[in-house]
Structure 1
């Protein structure tokens, strides 16, 4: 069964895209823990990030890195943190988190943000790429 991320890649579920190429997709988390919380995924469905072959793994992180300057221009933050958890969705992914303190990396807290606000934020991030 296709993961929710594969359904996003295939256009079956809408998302607020930040960046995309033939191999990867970056989009805003629908249930963010901080403003600008971005998910970066390989389009190829592989559950466990450490099952990615070395070349794909490296390119995933380089693709994620390419998004950071736009996040920093758009969302005031000290740094953009990166987290790999991989339990909620069986599809390899990394979280990019604009953070100002360790409290910003608490996955137990979710922001309340509308789809319209997410769409506007995604457009701002894309314009800063």
Structure 2
């Protein structure tokens, strides 16, 4: 069951601020407030869906296209050695916000990832990271 009071629904409604990096009529992307690495970004659909199994296939296709587009921007902005693209379903799998979303997590050689959902990032750092990603996305070809 979808809960309209989840934090991502509140971000979509403008009730909670977020460090946004990309938005179109179907998806929104913003910096993770508790990042596992520098550049950790989230991508969410603008439809109500709890997880991978609840989302309409067409909306899921739009979401993965937006995720790829944003991931290219994160890659350009942070030049990581690798990248994790992760999506969790239900608490046993690690889902903590029950609005489907993809994590884009840059990985750096020799650097351990911080714990998932553990420590709040400095807002000034998040703002700087968001600006880097926005600039990188702006330099990419438009998403179709």
**Alignment gaps of 5+ in structure 1:** none
How much has 1:111 moved relative to structure 2? Answer: 5.7
Is the counterpart of residue 24 in structure 1 residue 27 in structure 2?
Answer: yes
Provide the TM-score with structure 1 as the length reference. Answer: 0.89
2:105 paired with 1:97: yes
Q: CA deviation at 1:85?
A: 1.4
Residue in 2 that maps onto 1:78: 81
Shift of the alpha carbon at 1:76?
Answer: 2.9
- The answer for the alignment partner of 1:39 in structure 2 is 42
Scaled by the length of structure 2, the TM-score of the pair is: 0.80
The answer to whether structure 1 residue 123 and structure 2 residue 126 are counterparts is no
After superposition, the CA RMSD in angstroms is 2.1
| CA–CA separation in structure 1 for the residues paired with 2:66 and 2:10 | 20
Worse overlay, 61-70 or 75-84: 75-84
Instruction: Give 5+ residue unaligned stretches, structure 2.
Output: 90-94, 138-144
- Could you tell me how far apart the structure 1 residues matched to 2:31 and 2:11 are? 12
**Count, aligned residues:** 129
Among 62, 67, 76, the residue aligned to 1:64: 67
CA distance in 2, matches of 1:104, 1:56: 33
Question: Per the alignment, in what secondary structure is the counterpart of residue 128 of structure 1?
Answer: helix
* Residues 34 and 110, structure 1, Cα contact 8 Å, conserved in 2: no
